[in-house]
Amino acid sequence: MTKTSTHQEFEVLDYQDLSTAEQNLILAAKEISKKAYAPYSNFQVGAAVLLEDGTVLKSSNQENVSFPAGVCAEHLVLSYAGANFPETAPNCLALVARKKEEEQWAFVSPCGICRQVINEVENRFNKPIKLLILRPDGRVYSIPGIAKLLPLKFDDLNSK
């Protein structure tokens, strides 16, 4: 039998160590999270993406009583970017979450579908998207690309 392993390593940064653009992206994600439609989970998620031309787009999760019909914040903002800015690559994606009516931020990581969506966008533009994920302690996970969170990703079987 052969065994293999993967090792994932990324940075944990203090908020003040982020660039001004990255801090603003986290703030945009926090702001839009308040507009989440989350009557079932009460879990408000905000995502903001910085495009290579400096444009910032943001979105929040939108739930549905038929749970598979709901849309995650990061999926929604990347889909909007692709539809409205099809030639402009995303450079960075910020993600924040908290329970409705609570001050404390919670940890959230992209779900499997969102990881595949991020992977597809990276493949589309042939470049990684830096991920910034706010932690409950106010520090930020800085992840250089989705491969760190999705080492065994599903890729285009027709491309090779």
Q: Which of 1, 14, 6, 9 is nearest to 134 (CA)?
A: 14
Judge whether 27 and 138 are in contact, CB under 8 Å.
Answer: no
pTM of the predicted structure, to 2 decimals: 0.93
- At 2 the pLDDT is 93
Q: How confident is the model at residue 155 (pLDDT cuts 50, 70, 90)?
A: confident
Please report the domains of the chain, with CATH numbers, ordered by start residue: 12-54+66-134 (3.40.140.10)
Which of 31, 74, 101, 102 is an active site residue?
74
pLDDT in tens, 62-90: 999 998 899 999 999 999 999 999 999 99
Question: What is the distance of C-alpha 3 from the center of its chain?
Answer: 31
- At 158 the pLDDT is 67
Q: What's the rounded mean pLDDT across residues 127-148?
A: 97
Q: How confident is the model at residue 153 (pLDDT cuts 50, 70, 90)?
A: confident
Cβ atoms within 10 A of the Cβ of 77, count? 26
pLDDT in tens, 96-105: 999 998 989 9
Tokens representing residue 66 in the block? 């038929």
Q: How confident is the model at residue 138 (pLDDT cuts 50, 70, 90)?
A: very high
Residues across the chain: 160
Q: What is the C-alpha separation between 111 and 70, in angstroms, rounded?
A: 13
Q: What is the C-alpha separation between 160 and 148, in angstroms, rounded?
A: 22
Q: Which of 47, 57, 136 is nearest to 89 (CA)?
A: 57
Q: What is the C-alpha separation between 16 and 6, in angstroms, rounded?
A: 31
- At 92 the pLDDT is 99
Active-site annotation holds for 74 = yes
